[in-house]
Structure 1
Amino acid sequence: MVYANSAIGDEDDCGVVMCIPQNDEQEPWTWCVIANVVDEHEVGVDHHIGHGTKIFSPGTKVYVSTEWRTSLKDDGGTLFVIGKARKQWRMVGMFIPRNRLTNFRVGRVFDPRVLRRMAKDCRQSVPDPSEWGWRWWGNDEDAHQTVIKRVEYFSQDGFSLPEAGAEDD
């Protein structure tokens, strides 16, 4: 570790010393849209309440890909995500309806398991976010701005219709 008195450490406005590990090689990371699987939602023709999805349990953190399809008939389209499957240790990828996800946010991904799964989707043997162009976001400033815009888009509730009988005064 390197501390505040050296060239790499720094002290923030509150006087707290921030420690920055000094590595010869930078750890790979990428920007990503991160979301959680909803807890309860209506399922089927009888509209019973379902918890999570068939693959993901409620609250599971998922990483959203750049690949998505939009359609008004399925409440905002489907998104390709990866996350930890129910009762398993492995990371799985699948398309999931947008209305099954909540709490969209911007994040940096450092988890080696997630990065390996992203690299596998891009046909790479070793994760290299600078070469992910078409399916995952990357780690440059353009990718960061794109992720911010996509989070704003996914966070809006433009696919909900006003309830019957609800009128504005």
Structure 2
Amino acid sequence: MVENKVKNYPWRWCMVGNIVDKRFYGEEHEIKSGVKLFSPGTKVYIAPHQWGDGGDKLVVLGKSRHKNSLIECIIKSKHICNWRLKKIYPSKVLDRMNYSKYHWWGNDDEWKECIENYVKDVKKYLSNNTKILKNETVEEFLLNIDNMNTTSKGLIRIQESLSSDIEDVVEYCKNKIRDKNCKISKEGRNWICITDDIKIIVNSCSNTIVTVKKM
């Protein structure tokens, strides 16, 4: 454990990622959704290496799967996707970093450059690791379509947007995406699916239908 000796930063640079949608588990390579403490797609704030294990395990902050509160814990780095740089302003997250028993990033240019280089290395490693489940190509996205879902709030948004009495919104979206005329592209963390003057936006980590818009 590395003690966080510098506290009360007014802001910090930080590495951020999302919990993977699916992962292999056990000798039989059973497919699990998310990880024990975090749901698929959960945003996590990632601390620097605390030990000399090459970054296999990392300290993260994120909202717990079981409680709507921030928890700080240790997870395997291979269970994180969409690595990126973020500036953390005054918030509950910054407070937890400032008073953490672990070491977190600082707020000068050296820390920023360190994170940027780290993100590049991680992305290269993940792209070459065949044991990690991915959702980066259109083919992989379509293979995962049966796992597509939405939230209760998302369901309301979609129904209001479509102005329709569609009984099964998720199945409706799946069928639209499966249509051979559907144009699928990736923008940031989301898949954009356009067909029949409708735009369907799907989170690439959690396969959650974020929204549906008429064009």
Distance 1:54 1:161, change over 3 A: closer
Percent identity among equivalent residues?
32
TM-score, with structure 2 as normaliser = 0.51
Q: Give the length in aligned residue pairs.
A: 122
Where does residue 109 of structure 1 map in the other structure? 88
Distance 1:51 1:34, change over 3 A: same
Q: Which among 64, 67, 74 is matched to residue 95 of structure 1? A: 74
Structure 2 residue ranges without an equivalent (≥5): 1-8, 132-215
Distance 1:68 1:39, change over 3 A: farther
CA apart distance, 1:94:
1.2
Distance 1:51 1:161, change over 3 A: closer
Q: Structure 1, residues 22-47: CA drift from partner, whole Å, max 9, x if none?
A: xxxxx922100001000001112222
Q: Structure 1, residues 75-115: CA drift from partner, whole Å, max 9, x if none?
A: x6111111111131221111111110001001101251101
**Is 1:145 matched with 2:123?**
no
**Is 1:62 matched with 2:44?**
yes
Q: Is the 8 A contact 2:37 2:66 kept in 1?
A: no
| Aligned positions of 1:1-169 closer than 5 A | 28-69=10-51, 71=53, 77-110=56-89, 112-122=91-101, 135-157=103-125, 160=129
Structure-1 separation of matches of 2:125 and 2:109: 27
Q: Is the 8 A contact 2:50 2:103 kept in 1?
A: no
Instruction: Classify the secondary structure of the residue corresponding to 1:143.
Output: helix
Instruction: Classify the secondary structure of the residue corresponding to 1:66.
Output: coil
Structure 1 residue ranges without an equivalent (≥5): 1-26, 123-133, 163-169
Instruction: Classify the secondary structure of the residue corresponding to 2:125.
Output: coil
The AA in structure 2 aligned to 1:119 is N
TM-score, with structure 1 as normaliser = 0.64
Q: Is the 8 A contact 1:68 1:77 kept in 2?
A: no
